């Protein structure tokens, strides 16, 4: 079996994936908070770990891989959106959840094995919190329940921080119900106009961090193989997940994976800079989902990436070329699998694919989530009829052979080549083929 190696954020080392249950792999990915459209940064995490999901299925078999990606559908951002719009919270979360599924589906992101919603696991969260209180790792006060950070000696090891340094260097809320500034909320009271559930501490709702611990435990058990997410979640979200899960006696995740952040044209994506856009924005502008996925996979998940218009153009040209050459069937070449098995090196995998053609190319593109066996409409949009230009070039050549003046032939060839058309001329025939750089607009003057 292929040996998969992954960079474990917890150990800071590349480690061999050695599944807890031999031959079976379990993975959890922190999913979206559903109150708006997914932006390009959200998509990077979804695409990167969808690629890992695909690799795991290829190596271990689809039936032996369990992938969980949650939906956070109880959150103060959702409550705020409901207050702004006057809409029901359930309507907002249902709509935005489907938006996410549709937009990620357009990028070739497969649906995970399980997609739990936080609101369906409130009972498990309450039970989890009760256990932490019983173990003296949490306490209730003024309708809140908080995790006692200093009760967990290993707090900070995942992110490489110390509690004292975090207090000294951060603006931490010192609420009257906290024993210590670093203690974080597991449960908080709800006013009558926002979602709430009955609990031993009164009507309220869960804190964000407890959600993933409770859902991963309920579905994957005491310990699972991989926990993934964006590097922005490393602290405090993932650090707090580790603390509360391990304090409750669960071994939790063995390997932690974090994708780095995304920029646009060399700058942090920001609404104030005018370079913030959602996946739906790009799709509505006519950027194909496969092209977006290709650009995202072009940079290793563990490195910062820069979305640029140049990368988008190059991705589209490359995919057009590949779709023209790909054929169904075949087997994924070992070199492509080996690149992905090397800490999900998608950049290297794409480099290997450049050497392929035919059925093996099709198989490799399928593994990368870039091809479903059919050529998408956008990739054939430039399949135009060049027969009129062929006739014109033939006639010009006949005239030139008689007059010995080939200036018109040369001019036509130069214009066609400049438009990305391959010109094939023999004594008997003229054939024009649109290449990956074909731009029909450049033929308008002809």
- Write the pLDDT tens digit of every residue in 90-112: 999 999 999 999 999 999 999 99
User: Does 131 fall in a domain?
Assistant: yes
SS3 418: helix
The last residue of one of the domains, among 220, 244, 259, is 259
pTM: 0.86
How many structural domains does the chain have? 3
Give residue 324's pLDDT: 86
- Whether residue 250 contacts residue 243, with contact meaning beta carbons closer than 8 Å, is answered with no
**Residue 156: pLDDT over 70:** yes
Together in a domain, 251 and 291: no
- Domain assignment of residue 274, yes or no: no
Note whether 320 and 364 are same-domain residues.
yes
418 within some domain:
yes
Decide: residue 189, CB within 10 A, 0-12 exposed, 13-18 middle, 19+ buried.
middle
264: in domain:
no
User: 391 and 376 share a domain?
Assistant: no
H or E segment at 366?
helix 358-367
Q: For strand 223-230 and strand 252-259, is the pairing parallel, antiparallel, or unpaired? A: parallel
Quick one: 120 and 167 in the same domain? yes
Residues 35, 80 within the same domain: yes
Both 249 and 114 in a single domain? yes
159 and 184 both lie in a single domain: yes
* 309 in the same domain as 226: no
If you average pLDDT over residues 214-226, what whole number do you get?
Answer: 98
Say whether both 26 and 71 belong to one domain: yes
Asked if residue 57 and residue 153 are part of one domain, the reply reads: yes
The predicted pLDDT at position 305 comes to 96
pLDDT tier at 168, thresholds 50, 70, 90: low
Residues 251 and 300 in one domain: no
pLDDT attached to residue 55: 98
Structural domain containing residue 208: 5-259
User: Can you give the C-alpha Rg of the chain in angstroms?
Assistant: 27
Residue burial 68-94, b: 16+ Cβ < 10 Å; e: rest: bbbbbbbbeebbebbeeeeeebeebbe
The verdict on residue 275 lying in a domain is no
For residue 266, being part of any structural domain is answered with no
| The pLDDT of residue 173 | 59
Does residue 143 fall inside a structural domain?
Answer: yes
Same domain, 365 and 401: no
Any domain includes 265: no
Please say which residue of 332, 363, 380 terminates a domain.
Answer: 380
């Amino acid at each position: 079996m292929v040996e998969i190696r992954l960079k474990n954020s917890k150990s800071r080392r590349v480690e061999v994936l050695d599944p807890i249950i031999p031959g079976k792999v379990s993975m959890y990915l922190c999913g979206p908070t559903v109150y708006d459209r997914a932006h390009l940064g959200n998509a990077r995490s979804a695409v990167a770990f969808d690629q890992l999901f695909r690799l795991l299925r290829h190596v271990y078999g689809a039936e032996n891989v369990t992938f969980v990606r949650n939906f956070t559908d109880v959150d103060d951002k959702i409550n705020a959106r409901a207050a702004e719009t006057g809409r029901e919270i359930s309507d907002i979360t249902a709509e935005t959840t489907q938006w996410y599924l549709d937009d990620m589906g357009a990028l070739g992101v497969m649906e995970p094995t399980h997609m739990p919603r936080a609101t369906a696991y409130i009972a498990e969260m309450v039970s989890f919190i009760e256990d932490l209180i019983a173990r003296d790792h949490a306490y209730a006060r003024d309708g809140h329940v908080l995790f006692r950070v200093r009760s967990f000696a290993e707090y900070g090891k995942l992110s490489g921080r110390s509690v004292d340094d975090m207090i000294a260097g951060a603006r931490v809320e010192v609420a009257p119900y906290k024993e210590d500034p670093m203690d974080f909320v597991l449960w908080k009271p709800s006013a009558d106009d926002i979602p709430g559930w009955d609990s031993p501490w009164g009507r309220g709702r869960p804190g964000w961090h407890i959600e993933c611990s409770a859902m991963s435990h309920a579905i994957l058990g005491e310990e699972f193989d991989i926990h993934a997410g964006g590097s922005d979640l490393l602290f405090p979200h993932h650090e707090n997940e580790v603390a509360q899960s391990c304090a409750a006696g669960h071994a939790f995740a063995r390997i932690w994976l974090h994708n780095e952040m995304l920029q646009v044209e060399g700058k942090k994506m920001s609404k104030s800079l005018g370079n913030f856009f959602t996946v739906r924005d790009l799709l509505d502008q006519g950027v194909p989902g496969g092209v977006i996925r290709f650009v995202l996979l072009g940079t290793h998940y563990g490195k910062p990436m820069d979305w640029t218009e140049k990368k988008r153009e190059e991705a589209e040209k490359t995919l057009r070329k590949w779709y023209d050459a790909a054929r169904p069937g075949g087997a994924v070449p070992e070199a492509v699998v080996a690149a992905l098995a090397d800490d999900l090196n998608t950049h290297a995998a794409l480099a290997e694919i450049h050497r392929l053609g035919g059925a093996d190319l099709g198989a490799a593109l399928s593994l990368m989530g870039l091809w479903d066996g059919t050529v998408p409409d956008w990739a054939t949009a430039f399949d135009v009829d060049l027969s009129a230009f062929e006739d014109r070039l033939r006639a010009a050549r006949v005239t030139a052979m008689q007059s010995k003046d080939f200036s018109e032939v040369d001019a036509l060839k130069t214009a066609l080549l400049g438009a990305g058309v391959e010109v094939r001329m023999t004594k008997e025939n003229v054939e024009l083929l649109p290449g990956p750089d074909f731009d029909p607009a450049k033929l308008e003057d002809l």
